[in-house]
Chains A and B, each alone.
Chain A
Amino acid sequence: MINTMECAMDAQNLISISLRKIHNSRTQRGGIKLHKNLLVSYVLRNAKQLYMNEKYAEIYRMQQYEEVMTVCNEIQELNPLDLAEDIVEASGDCCSHGAGSPLIMEPASVCCALPASNHPAHTPHQQQQLQATAACSAAGLALQSEEVCKETNSAFFRSCCAEAYPVTDCDFSSLSAVHCNKTTVLDLDTHVVTTVESGYLHQDCCAVQCQGAQAPAKKRKFDFGCYAAESEDVPDFTPCKRARFEDFYCPHSEQLDTSNISNLISIFGSGFTGLVSRQADSELSLNGQFCSKQTLASLGAWTRAIVAF
């Protein structure tokens, strides 16, 4: 389980530190170091997984809270004793399902977390167990991509995890950013392509049919096309031309690589400031305040930008 000391707040820092490292590596002497950037991408993936799992767990918790409050309001007329029994049963089911399984589903973890905080009918020991389970499951979620190879109680072999760092399988080529202050991202939830311009979010009209587009919590592959392109396939890519998109020209058919490079560049050209500003918004939401739709939208764009990168 990922050390629970490294909470979602650290995950954010790690993400921004990692992005900064990747950005700096592009101007380092000797060219991009493939090894180092691969390792940084693993940290990025790990941090992103934990952060997004925490965010989604929180969102589900808030949704569940609203539902529970609605239910509670509706059943205010019922016998109080019946109410306590129902909830103990429900929490018992959730937790027995969830505890110990590495493939625990998010609703179960949330379910486990709720009764512990809202129902004093539980003994302190039970409450502790439930809270521990919730903590464990939240952290365990972060290892989902590793769990593909991992069997419960058996050893984990790194070599069998052929899954690379997450990236979308989508073809960005037709949507590559033209202006250097725009970032094109794909919303993995709605399959809507959006353009982030100088830190502001615009909705584009066109949707992209993306093979394998799934909920953000699932695996994506990190785009190493930019490294391949740099090293072998894009002879005309010059450092001095990074800022000027109109000059960007790739004679080869690898449009995917070049457009991903342009996305990468535009993220750091303008989006980094945008990312930092969104980070401030995210920190507010992590302080436990209810997320306004606006904050959620900007946060979503930020996390989706990460995934696109």
Chain B
Amino acid sequence: MAGGGGNDVQWCFSQVKGAIDDDVAEADIISTVEFNHSGELLATGDKGGRVVIFQQEPENKSQPQCRGEYNVYSTFQSHEPEFDYLKSLEIEEKINKIRWLPQKNAAQFLLSTNDKTIKLWKISERDKRPEGYNLKEEDGRYRDPTTVTTLRVPVFRPMDLMVEASPRRVFANAHTYHINSISVNSDYETYLSADDLRVNLWHLEITDRSFNIVDIKPANMEELTEVITAAEFHPNQCNTFVYSSSKGTIRLCDMRASALCDKHSKLFEEPEDPSNRSFFSEIISSISDVKFSHNGRYMMTRDYLSVKIWDLNMESRPVETYQVHEYLRSKLCSLYENDCIFDKFECCWNGNDSVVMTGSYNNFFRMFDRGQKKDVTLEASRESSKPRAVLKPRKVCGGGKRKKDEISVDSLDFNKKILHTAWHPQENIIAVATTNNLYIFQDKLN
């Protein structure tokens, strides 16, 4: 079933991964979530530099109503903390982004990145092992050749499934500033990586060279006015990519036009509403995520208070704007004090681009059905974590009289934030990351 409407669908709890402990270890904080192209695998990265991959169990023939559960498939340490002695800077091991490569053979490949280094990981299964060596014992010790009297041909024997992750490429030393995005090109040969001021183009096979395709660093750093916040390749035009900025603009670039894409082909920007001007206008207009729709006709941007859908053919304004938590507009001062205003929320499309989803505070997440013009607020919490329990829509009361079942703005927990969400590419299965737990919800199958 393809991804359907937001409100017609009833979302049910499926699984939750991670510690139940309220005391969250910093290393366990989830920093990225990504389904692979088939949706069979779900990868998460955390602040401790680890990647955990879950695999969906095949559908149970006897229970066709239930979709397979996601269970741990592989866990590995992708990045370690590093220290740049030359600049006396510690480089965090936190995984900023994971992007899957399309599957070409039995093995799976993904790119994971921290602030400075991108790595290509190969995840492969081993379910057979050779036995019957002539020169080695079964435990690996070498035999004395003089004791060999007969020869035999080693054979493969089945073994317990082992999933191995091995780093195949390390793409290092290309970024002075902090990497915020990676994106695999539709040519499946190249990918881009973006930091605050530059975007680099890599070939997946070549680690010692990358091409700088965007550089917005001013000659005089005192003149810096904006930074790059996200970048992504077009899903089917391999010459096209976009990058968003802290000023709320999105630039679309065509790599055929010139080697250095400092000059954009299109500039997407919506004029600011002067009546909303505040001390924090610059902060809340900074774009935290940009995602193309699957069909490549639209792109979605997330800023602090809203989600905007842009038609690639119209630069002057978005075609749709959805308010995620407008009730926070009057609280910006406090959110600035406690640093919440700097939170970078991500957003995602469903499989057929009809619904978009993004996170909020108090472990709330929001879905906007573009076709039906409906939206819903749901919560990822342990309380509503009974198997196949239907999630109840939530409502936040901005001000005035609070109705029953509504939550007032002042009682929202701003430490419980959902920054990372992912939608299965074909099914109505979503993965929602709270601070240190991963919730999996699916639509109710009748």
Given known contacts A17-B336, A30-B115, A230-B87, is B222 in contact with A39 (CB within 8 Å)?
no
Query: Residues of A contacting B197 with CB < 8 Å?
Result: 34
Assembled-state Cα–Cα distance A91/B94 (Å): 62
CB pair A158–B223 under 8 Å, yes or no, is no
> A232 interface residue, CB < 8 Å from B?
yes
Interface size on A, as a range, is: 35 or more
> A238 interface residue, CB < 8 Å from B?
yes
**B interface, CB within 8 angstroms of A:** 86-92, 94, 115, 176-178, 180, 196-197, 220-227, 229, 246-249, 267, 269, 271-272, 274-275, 277-283, 285-286, 333, 336-337, 339, 342
**A interface, CB within 8 angstroms of B:** 1-3, 6, 10-11, 14, 17, 21, 29-31, 33-36, 38-39, 42-43, 46-47, 50, 143, 155-159, 161-165, 167, 221-225, 227-228, 230-232, 235, 237-240, 257
User: Would you give 21 A-B contacts (Cβ < 8 Å), ordered by A?
Assistant: A2-B279, A6-B333, A10-B333, A11-B279, A29-B92, A30-B92, A31-B91, A31-B178, A34-B178, A34-B224, A34-B227, A35-B227, A35-B286, A38-B246, A46-B282, A156-B272, A158-B249, A161-B225, A221-B223, A237-B87, A237-B88
The residue on B at minimum CB distance from A10 is: B333
CB pair B279–A162 under 8 Å, yes or no, is no
Query: Residues of B contacting A230 with CB < 8 Å?
Result: 87, 89
Query: Residues of A contacting B225 with CB < 8 Å?
Result: 38, 161-165
Query: Residues of B contacting A3 with CB < 8 Å?
Result: 277-278
CB pair B222–A222 under 8 Å, yes or no, is yes
CB pair A39–B224 under 8 Å, yes or no, is no
Q: Chain B nearest CB: distance from A167 CB in Å? A: 6
Q: Chain A nearest CB: distance from B196 CB in Å? A: 5
CB pair B280–A235 under 8 Å, yes or no, is no
Assembled-state Cα–Cα distance A167/B222 (Å): 8
Query: Residues of A contacting B336 with CB < 8 Å?
Result: 14, 17, 43
CB pair B283–A39 under 8 Å, yes or no, is yes
CB pair A157–B269 under 8 Å, yes or no, is yes
Given known contacts A158-B249, A158-B285, A159-B267, is B278 in contact with A2 (CB within 8 Å)?
yes
Assembled-state Cα–Cα distance A235/B86 (Å): 6
Assembled-state Cα–Cα distance A38/B336 (Å): 14
CB pair B249–A159 under 8 Å, yes or no, is yes
Assembled-state Cα–Cα distance A43/B279 (Å): 6
CB pair B90–A39 under 8 Å, yes or no, is no
The residue on B at minimum CB distance from A14 is: B279
Assembled-state Cα–Cα distance A222/B84 (Å): 27
Query: Residues of A contacting B177 with CB < 8 Å?
Result: 34, 231
In-complex Cβ contact of B277 among A2, A21, A221, A237 (8 A): A2
Assembled-state Cα–Cα distance A235/B89 (Å): 10
Query: Residues of B contacting A167 with CB < 8 Å?
Result: 222
The residue on B at minimum CB distance from A221 is: B222
CB pair A231–B87 under 8 Å, yes or no, is yes
Q: Chain B nearest CB: distance from A236 CB in Å? A: 8
CB pair A17–B337 under 8 Å, yes or no, is yes
CB pair A39–B342 under 8 Å, yes or no, is yes
Query: Residues of B contacting A165 with CB < 8 Å?
Result: 225
Assembled-state Cα–Cα distance A219/B342 (Å): 26
Q: Chain B nearest CB: distance from A256 CB in Å? A: 9
In-complex Cβ contact of A164 among B196, B223, B281, B286 (8 A): B223
CB pair A239–B88 under 8 Å, yes or no, is yes
Assembled-state Cα–Cα distance A29/B247 (Å): 26
Q: Chain B nearest CB: distance from A224 CB in Å? A: 4
CB pair B342–A235 under 8 Å, yes or no, is no
In-complex Cβ contact of B279 among A31, A38, A47, A238 (8 A): A47
